[in-house]
Structure 1
């Protein structure tokens, strides 16, 4: 199957202004992300779906490919759908967030390959075990509950599944793991992506502010590949400073 990585890139950011253009070790956050994504083996091409000419100019400066998408796009998924409309020859689109400069190419490959080998699925994504109880109660940490055949049953900012009698160390150390942290990396089939972008937000989606719940509510199938861990993205100034420290000490 022909696969394209798309990096939806917004200039504005509520918690860290214009973070994708911040520089570390001589490169922007966006360039670090682009180069990490480019190391994935599964992809045939990679495009940045930008919302501002300054993003396009940045991608041009390091020799990448960018497309300026509509100002009417409400989300990164809408930007992917707009790119998908331009590429009817592509089967799978992988959404890599622009603020993930340390994203693992192997994780990108695992998510794309999972969808390619699961004709029953509409979306593939990834999750890793939660071993720290504080993460379970952190709404910024999105949890996923999986059922048979690695199918996602629920995504939530709440602590799920709920342990009625209280969480113990044994629950956190269980094998296989009970609690999983979702990461915002997705592979979509083209037809599903185009359908998804035309649908109104679902009730659960509006409550949790989690787009993937739109698919769950509509009865679509999301499959999840298990990974050991995932590096943090850049959401805050502290995240950025920690990334700079890591990359400059390599």
Structure 2
């Protein structure tokens, strides 16, 4: 069984109560849930919460929801707790709760390597960066990968560094620099083993959890996608998400006129 698990933490430091943030009359976590349900490969979608109010809201719109401890070290630990409660889950998809407009096609793209290669333990997505602001931003994680599409390194810095480029624009034009999209697909055993590993040096330096996998010898399959995602981490991001939905609804209305 392929199960999508959406971790939703209430006490976000930059946007308190983030799962319940109103976007077009619905809480953000409901948008994420409905977007995930559009995947053609997921057999089940559940939500992992740490707050009673969020639990009740998720129940109200018909989601399958699990309560998890508030002190989980990471989203991966939260979904691991839920995974242990779903014994039939062979492949687990970690769908970030703060990506309300994640496309079902993106989820399916990330899952596909597991369907064709039983040796794949973990897969994730990347999209080519096409503007300088994304390349420079430390909040946009970059990834480099080998000729077999396995990750070599993740960083908040621009990688690869294009030594001979004279400007930042020339860097993104002369080299393929990829943004990592934080949608993860795990084999069950890989996820449960991962949460038993101690945080590693590079992970703590970069503040990137996925480096724990690489530092312990795991391979991460990278799937290049043409789609992007909109992550809501701050009040400014929330306003962008609201404008995005308004524009989407207006376009939909025009189609039916």
TM-score bracket for this pair, using the shorter chain length: over 0.9
Q: How far, CA to CA, are the matches of 1:65 and 1:224 in structure 2?
A: 29
Corresponding residue number in structure 2 for 1:54:
53
Corresponding residue number in structure 2 for 1:16:
15
TM superposition shift of 1:118: 2.5
State the SS of the aligned residue for 1:126: strand
Q: How far, CA to CA, are the matches of 1:31 and 1:239 in structure 2?
A: 17
State the SS of the aligned residue for 1:67: strand
Q: How far, CA to CA, are the matches of 1:18 and 1:109 in structure 2?
A: 29
Q: How far, CA to CA, are the matches of 1:173 and 1:104 in structure 2?
A: 27
Residue pair 2:142, 2:155 contacting (<8 A) in 1 also:
yes
State the SS of the aligned residue for 2:222: strand
Q: How far, CA to CA, are the matches of 1:130 and 1:97 in structure 2?
A: 21
Q: How far, CA to CA, are the matches of 1:170 and 1:229 in structure 2?
A: 23
Task: After superposition, give the CA deviation of every residue in 1:5-26 in whole Å (9 maximum; x if it has no partner).
Answer: 0000100111112121011222
Task: After superposition, give the CA deviation of every residue in 1:183-207 in whole Å (9 maximum; x if it has no partner).
Answer: 1100000000000001110100000
Corresponding residue number in structure 2 for 1:215:
213
Task: After superposition, give the CA deviation of every residue in 1:144-176 in whole Å (9 maximum; x if it has no partner).
Answer: 0010211000000011111222355554235xx
RMSD of aligned alpha carbons = 1.4
State the SS of the aligned residue for 1:148: coil
Residue pair 1:121, 1:223 contacting (<8 A) in 2 also:
yes
TM superposition shift of 1:123: 0.6
TM superposition shift of 1:232: 1.5
Verify: 1:114 aligned to 2:118, yes or no.
no
The total of aligned residue pairs comes to 247
TM superposition shift of 1:133: 2.4
Equivalences for 1:163-178 in 2 at 5 Å?
Answer: 163-166=162-165, 169=169, 171-174=171-174, 178=176
Verify: 1:225 aligned to 2:223, yes or no.
yes
TM superposition shift of 1:72: 3.5
Task: After superposition, give the CA deviation of every residue in 1:105-130 in whole Å (9 maximum; x if it has no partner).
Answer: 10001101123323222110001001
In structure 2, do the counterparts of structure 1 residues 57 and 221 end up closer, same or farther at CA, with 3 Å as the change threshold? same
TM-score (norm 2): 0.92
Equivalences for 1:54-203 in 2 at 5 Å?
Answer: 54-166=53-165, 169=169, 171-174=171-174, 178-203=176-201
State the SS of the aligned residue for 1:195: helix
Q: How far, CA to CA, are the matches of 1:12 and 1:72 in structure 2?
A: 11
Moved more, 113-122 or 7-16: 113-122
Ranges in structure 2 where 5+ consecutive residues have no aligned partner: 250-257
Residue pair 1:123, 1:189 contacting (<8 A) in 2 also:
yes
TM superposition shift of 1:76: 0.6
| Structure 1 ranges of 4+ moved more than 6 A | none
State the SS of the aligned residue for 2:193: helix
State the SS of the aligned residue for 2:66: strand
TM-score (norm 1): 0.94
State the SS of the aligned residue for 2:84: helix
